Amino acid sequence: MSLLQRERESITRNEYVDRFDFDEIEAFVRNASKNLFISHRFATAGKMLVQPRGGFPTYEKVWKLYEAFKDAGVDVLPLTIDSNTRLNDYATAKKMLALSEANDEDMLNGYPLIIHGYRTTRKMMSHFDTPVSLRHGTPDARLLVEVALASGIFEIEGGPITYLLPYSKNFPLDKAFLYWKYVEKVCAHYSTFNEPINRESFGPLSATLQPPVIVIVIQLLEMLLSLEEGVKSFSVSFSQTGSMLQDIVTAKVLKKLARDYAGRFGYGDAQIHLVYHQWMGAFPYDKEYSDALITASTVIAAMVGADKIITKTRNEAFGIPTKEANARAVAGVQYTLGMLRGLPDAGDDEEEAHLERMVREIMEAVLNDDADTLWRKTFNAIKKGYIDIPFSPHVINANEVITVRDPQSNIRIIERGSLPISDASYRYEKAKIALPEGKKVVEKIIEDIGIML
Amino acid sequence: MGSMTTNRKKIVTGVVGNDVHVVANRLIEISLKERGFDVYNLGVNTYLEEFLDAVLETDADVLLVSSLNGEAEGWCRDLNILKSNYRFRKEVLFVIGGNLTVGEADEDVLVPKFKRYGFDLVFHQKDLNEALDEVEAVLSERFS
């Protein structure tokens, strides 16, 4: 038995898990409907796929949510996991699920997949016969991903950097890399039986004034870490920046360099997709304004040529949306996409060249580290502050980089910290910033965070 | 050490309890650096004991605790008891600010209450810059 298989046996032998039948699961994946695979949808849809967010504690409520989404014309269903499961606290998830079922009140902020188990969940996935995307935020997602794949959930979001640095203060980063390596290996394993399992990185990061160069570097590294384990279908992603031009420039550079680096590392055969997240920052309390923001995001997603869009709702400022509001958003986005025909090809050669150069500068510094493996190089880069996410709660994050918006609302680096970008790149960024006389940087940051309010 | 560095005041800051409001925490750090403090930022999810340990270790002049999720009282009511276990080498200014309670609050009740717990300055839903101006004013009075 291989080392990986031995680890899988050990991970899945857990008091909260009903007996794992690997042979039966393999047969299920082998014979699963093509409609369950988003990789297949990407290849055949011929349109941008629309995916909302959402998940409830009980099986019945998720079923009703999926019915509402299907009526609204959804392309990809989400399954958002509760916070206890994300932290591997299955005992609390179990207790809260029992209370939710008994009292018809949601005691969890998502679906406790491990407690429901794959035999139950698979019935729902097979019934809806639509691709499902696993949305979580788990540093140690080994068991969760085993259960998801066995259930017929064939897209797995996350990664060792993007699901750790924006979410956790203390979870050890080196462990996250190793736990995600397991996830990649298992996804690669199942990809050999039918259509490929799709992995998706989480580009929005902390969703607060994230400089595109950092987002792109992290997308490329998580993509390479996934492809090197044998994953064949991967989605890079980013969220609306607040500048239409910066979104277009980011998408062009991200698409180009994803192909470029995948080829350079010998993974030219992998399918790479682009995912666009509608505005991930603070939403207005006015629901009509929220609708306007969602429509504008949809137009930008079409302009950047996204393969999939992840939607928000008019209830965003008020907490978890009802299934009605969520389904309405899906229908609205589909309607907007339907009218966006004959879009012009916009761009800015100078900005694209500048962003591409900065990404390459950081990537070269990361790859030139002495460590023997890519994950160790990446780990060292984060420790050294070569990769530094503004507004990350994690202790390992350098927290030296500071960003503000320029007069066109593009996010610019005003303080580069230890980022290994050249003086020329840094000068270009700083030259774009116009800080009014006497205005404190912190006041500008507060304004720049709240541009959509 | 040159005279340039000896005048810089040291400040320990962070968000108390199980509170992950990282944006506010980072803005406070940037503001304090802009004002010339040496900042020791313990980040989000920090317990009161960790704050006091850090004040002792860094020989800080100020402890600035922030809280945004409304749970400040539960995490900070034992400050005086805790303080009595430490022997700080200088007079430390204890400051708390943020959203100090859930829902509506009466300042006239809230501020004296947190002062009784052991804070010298208490800022409830106060503008960050105004609050830091006041901290600096008190410090310059102490050291004048």
Beta bridge partners of B93: B62
Q: What is the pLDDT of residues A241-258, one digit of tens each?
A: 999 999 999 999 999 999
| B127 φ, ψ (degrees, to nearest 5) | -55, 135
Say if CB A194 and CB A419 are below 8 A apart. Answer: no
| Cβ neighbours of A89 in B, within 8 Å | none
pLDDT digits (tens, 9 = 90+) for A80-94: 999 999 999 999 999
Residues of A with CB under 8 A from a CB of B: 169-170, 206, 208, 390-393, 395, 399, 402, 440-443, 445-446, 449
Nearest CA to CA, how far is A87 from chain B (Å)?
15
Beta strand A411-415 with A402-405: parallel, antiparallel or unpaired?
antiparallel
Axis-axis angle for helices A349-367, A423-432 (nearest 10): 140
Q: Tell me: domain A3-339, CATH 2.30.30.40, correct?
A: no
Residue in chain A lying closest to B26 (CA): A391
Give per-residue pLDDT as tens, B34-57.
999 999 999 999 999 999 999 999
Match 């910066």 to its residue by tokens. Answer: A246
CATH classification of the domain holding B76: 3.40.50.280
List where CATH 3.20.20.240 sits in chain A: 3-339
The 10s digit of each residue's pLDDT in A172-225 is 999 999 999 999 999 999 999 999 999 999 999 999 999 999 999 999 999 999
Mean pLDDT of A354-358: 98
pLDDT tier at A41, thresholds 50, 70, 90: very high
Looking at residue B6, its pLDDT comes to: 59
B84-130 confidence digits (pLDDT tens): 999 999 999 999 999 998 877 788 999 999 999 999 999 999 999 99
Active site members of A:
86, 157
Question: pLDDT band at B7, cuts 50/70/90?
Answer: confident
Report how far residue B33's alpha carbon sits from residue A382's, in angstroms, rounded to the nearest whole number: 23
Contact: B45, A399; criterion CB under 8 Å = no
Interface contacts (A, B; CB < 8 Å): 39
Separation of alpha carbons A381 and A106, rounded Å? 41
Whole-number Cα distances in Å, A72 to A65, A126, A328, A331, B98:
11, 19, 7, 5, 42
Angle, vertex CA A417, rays to CA A412 and CA A418, nearest 5:
120
Q: d(Cα A142, Cα A407) in Å, to the nearest integer?
A: 45
Is the minimum CB–CB distance between B27 and chain A shorter than 8 Å? yes
Q: What mean pLDDT, rounded, does chain B reach?
A: 92
Q: Residues A440, A442, A448, A451: is their CA dihedral positive or negative?
A: negative
Domain range for B95: 3-142
Q: Which residue of A has its CA nearest to B27?
A: A442
User: Model pTM?
Assistant: 0.95
Q: How many domains does chain B have?
A: 1
Mean predicted lDDT score pLDDT of chain A: 97
- Whether B66 and chain A come into contact, CB under 8 Å, resolves to no
Q: Which residue has the tokens 């700080």?
A: B88
Q: Is the ipTM of this complex over 0.95?
A: no
Residue to substitute from A209, A442, A445, interface B, most B β-carbons within 10 A? A442
Give me the amino acid identity at A54.
G
